[in-house]
Structure 1
């Protein structure tokens, strides 16, 4: 089972080149070639594996991650061997107890798609998980001019990210300062010296939007990142403020990652720039942070904008989306209650309106929120050059005035997975009148 446990973490990671991540990991006990082949093939058939998980309801019985379950189903049903790796383990035994049911669902799947074998199933080749590798120059540590002089990347500039068709090219983003894109096979990874020094942050393009929107034409000396781990948005936010970013995270394991990322991004000279708070954001008393003027809220979501998940039936489960939306509403309402706050950015890596525009509409309809004077910002201060805005029809429950609807939708932005050079994303900017 060791192979599956080691492969599990790579299936969970959404950003970066799979091959680089696997072969650069020096802590692996299993053969990297075996791990890469397993994860690559599981991603290739992920849509079909998820259908079997949903139909068989095996995820209701086995208390293991969806990623680990997908790897086991792949080897049992989609691999040429048709068996789980040798070795005894209670998870393997529990999984194989459902073998007959899983094989029955597999037969139904092949009948559904009118194929006789796995290799006849239509698939999208998982050559890479992301069309572009994005990295942000960390201006806390180094300015762009000095960075390029120091590291001598020798990359040819292109005017559009769509032109990054091969290694050796670089694109400077039109929307976010100090953000650059390169081909996924470019040798800029977590093993790169600049990354180890904290001079660059490997971060998806869309996840750079919240910090930039929060600080666009606005100055904050103290802000809160309400759901901070792993810390990419936190470090980006810290590059705009002079005083402090309070990075809040309740999960103990993720707090460790957050602290490590924050220390790398700030260094010894500015180690107080990011203060990590290990607690549930909703338990923080707003009156204790009266001087906080801006907040970033990026709560747990379905992750449907992440590559490979948009087609997962599990991400479209209405009950799950309803629970997530309820949590998202709660944490956002708490953020809007901070007395000194004048700007709050809400974001998710989801493509579903239930977690995005509908949460925004529910907040704008809430009497407490209305009485506090919150509304959506004008498009001019919410990445105005970005074309994809919120879904206008979702705001019709608030008003029938087409101009008002357009204005509200303009206070939100969306990205489409891969088509916009990264993950699917949503952001909305609340401002206090």
Structure 2
């Protein structure tokens, strides 16, 4: 019952960033991932849970808070397990005495809404909207000054993205050049003329990290974007390089989208700036690209940093995460085998250490990677002013020296969903002389 008592307070006060509140609460004894999943799902089905509670009159039988009762009803009737967490407790015993009555009300509810299972009921989505709409001015086609004059955007600047409380305001990001944030209701969308012309790219803040980190202080002439579709990171990387970005995508349909996006971003004048390669990155021979000095590797991941997916991920299959991590490791190891490479940026839109710090640790511990001379970059090369770094506790697996641990974590950056103005994101930078 402990998980229900701990989840109760978050259900009483669900406003704000629910995920960050739960994950930052150090007093919790239960797994915060499980608490978040429970509260999130209970909020989704709250309307139906309240109907069942009212019809069954169970709230007259058990004198507990409405929130605690809702959590118990959720797990009995609306969770995939269909049961209350194990463990003896007098509240649990009293609640289960009403099991038959509650199940009868659920049957009536499904008949009322003409569905066969609870997952067919329309649910309230929680935390599924971005707090900021980010867009990047595409300097391949237009510079910021000319962009604002051309499109006559009369927006009032604010100093923090948190101040974007209404349309009519704009924030210029302090970490990524030419990146701007506006209120989600601002009329800057994919139907905007500037977007259609390729003058702006609508791209999440965290997604802009890899290309900037890769080219920070020392821009490259030729780079590879190993998992390029749909192309936002690719077009961003192209704003830094002198010669070419090789954009690799193995799926033919996604490669077609990538090509279209790339052509829009570069235009006819610089159409050779991005070259799309429709093939599996791991089949590319490093010796064929000796002059490539930088790579971006953003492989398939759980997507747990994307709004609305965290709850699904907390019913996660550990085998799936293990398979994803194995794939991420293999594709990164291939990227690190390019002889001419001096910098490789690894990134995911996941919040899970299994796909982030632990993949980094496995690479740093690999004998071949060690022989090739790869290390993690110092913080001063990886968004030095960004405060949220890699999880230091994870790097305790390879060192007990607090200075070494801090330095390794400093070679990584993280963003939290919503709290940092966008999706949850992770990036790490590998370097060698």
TM-score category (smaller protein): 0.7 to 0.9
**Structure 1 CA distance, aligned partners of 2:156 and 2:110?**
41
Aligned residues of 1:46 and 1:308 also touching (Cα < 8 A)? no
CA RMSD of superposed structures (Å): 2.7
1:245 match: secondary structure? strand
2:311 match: secondary structure? coil
How many residue pairs get matched?
Answer: 341
Using a 3 Å threshold, how does the CA distance of structure 1 residues 303 and 191 change in structure 2: closer, same or farther? same
1:250 match: secondary structure? coil
1:204 match: secondary structure? coil
Once the two structures are superposed, the pairs formed by residues 131-280 of structure 1 within 5 Å of their partners are 131-280=131-280
1:309 aligns with 2:309: yes
- Structure 1 unmatched runs, 5+: 1-41, 57-75, 85-98, 107-117
**Structure 2 CA distance, aligned partners of 1:46 and 1:356?**
32
1:146 match: secondary structure? helix
Q: Deviations over 1:362-405 (max 9, x none)?
A: 00000000000000000001000100000011111211111011
Aligned residues of 1:54 and 1:314 also touching (Cα < 8 A)? no
Using a 3 Å threshold, how does the CA distance of structure 1 residues 177 and 77 change in structure 2: closer, same or farther? farther
Once the two structures are superposed, the pairs formed by residues 93-104 of structure 1 within 5 Å of their partners are 99=116, 102=117
Q: Deviations over 1:222-259 (max 9, x none)?
A: 00000000000000000000100000000111111101
Tell me how far 1:82 sits from its aligned partner: 2.2
Q: Deviations over 1:191-216 (max 9, x none)?
A: 00000000000000000000000000
Aligned residues of 2:126 and 2:308 also touching (Cα < 8 A)? no
1:312 match: secondary structure? helix
Which position in structure 1 is the counterpart of 2:44?
45
2:256 match: secondary structure? helix
**Structure 1 CA distance, aligned partners of 2:45 and 2:267?**
40
Aligned residues of 1:222 and 1:292 also touching (Cα < 8 A)? yes
Using a 3 Å threshold, how does the CA distance of structure 1 residues 44 and 385 change in structure 2: closer, same or farther? same
Tell me how far 1:80 sits from its aligned partner: 9.5
Using a 3 Å threshold, how does the CA distance of structure 1 residues 160 and 256 change in structure 2: closer, same or farther? same
**Structure 2 CA distance, aligned partners of 1:418 and 1:215?**
26
Q: Deviations over 1:23-77 (max 9, x none)?
A: xxxxxxxxxxxxxxxxxxx99838989x968549xxxxxxxxxxxxxxxxxxx99
Aligned residues of 2:302 and 2:313 also touching (Cα < 8 A)? no
Tell me how far 1:333 sits from its aligned partner: 0.1
Higher Cα Rg: structure 1 or 2?
A: 2
Q: Deviations over 1:319-362 (max 9, x none)?
A: 11000000000000000000000000000000000000000000
Aligned residues of 2:166 and 2:183 also touching (Cα < 8 A)? yes
**Structure 2 CA distance, aligned partners of 1:400 and 1:271?**
50
- Structure 2 unmatched runs, 5+: 1-40, 47-73, 83-106
Aligned residues of 1:297 and 1:332 also touching (Cα < 8 A)? yes
Using a 3 Å threshold, how does the CA distance of structure 1 residues 78 and 202 change in structure 2: closer, same or farther? farther
Which position in structure 2 is the counterpart of 1:82?
113
Which position in structure 2 is the counterpart of 1:318?
318
